[in-house]
């Protein structure tokens, strides 16, 4: 008595597999082509959305200064907090900005990305 079924035959497969692919009557190839078309459309949408310059690209192009770059990054980092009261959101951004200027690890990260060290904002 063997443990495996090697050489003993396996389950029989239906002979008309294309009828089983989709109940809607589409063939497997048509389904794949349709999905490929959807992914091409999604790729082109992503390409259009990706045309806006990132904060780092704007900084490197001279469109914004380091403070503008950090403000945009803080806006991105706190975008999910938009439901908070404006005073609370401003306090969070101020605390994060202070950390960016004083935490040695964060200062090094900003220097590496932007090429210059952040400073505490005035005011």
Instruction: Give the chain's length.
Output: 123
Task: Yes or no: say if 74 and 96 are a contact pair by the CB < 8 Å rule.
Answer: yes
Residue with token string 């380091």: 66
pTM over 0.75: no
The Cα 50–Cα 52 span in angstroms is 6
pLDDT tens column, 71-112: 999 999 999 998 999 999 999 999 999 999 899 999 999 899
């Amino acid at each position: 008595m063997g443990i495996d079924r090697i050489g003993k035959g396996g389950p029989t497969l239906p002979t008309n597999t294309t009828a089983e692919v989709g109940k809607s009557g589409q063939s497997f190839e048509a389904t794949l082509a349709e999905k490929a078309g959807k992914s091409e459309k999604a790729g082109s949408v992503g390409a259009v959305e990706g045309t806006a310059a990132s904060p780092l690209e704007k900084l490197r192009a001279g469109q914004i200064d380091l403070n503008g770059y950090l403000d945009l990054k803080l806006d991105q980092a706190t975008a999910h907090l938009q439901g908070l009261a404006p005073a609370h959101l401003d306090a969070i951004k101020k605390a994060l900005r202070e950390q960016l200027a004083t935490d040695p690890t964060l200062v090094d990260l900003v220097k590496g990305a932007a090429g210059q060290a952040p400073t505490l904002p005035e005011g």
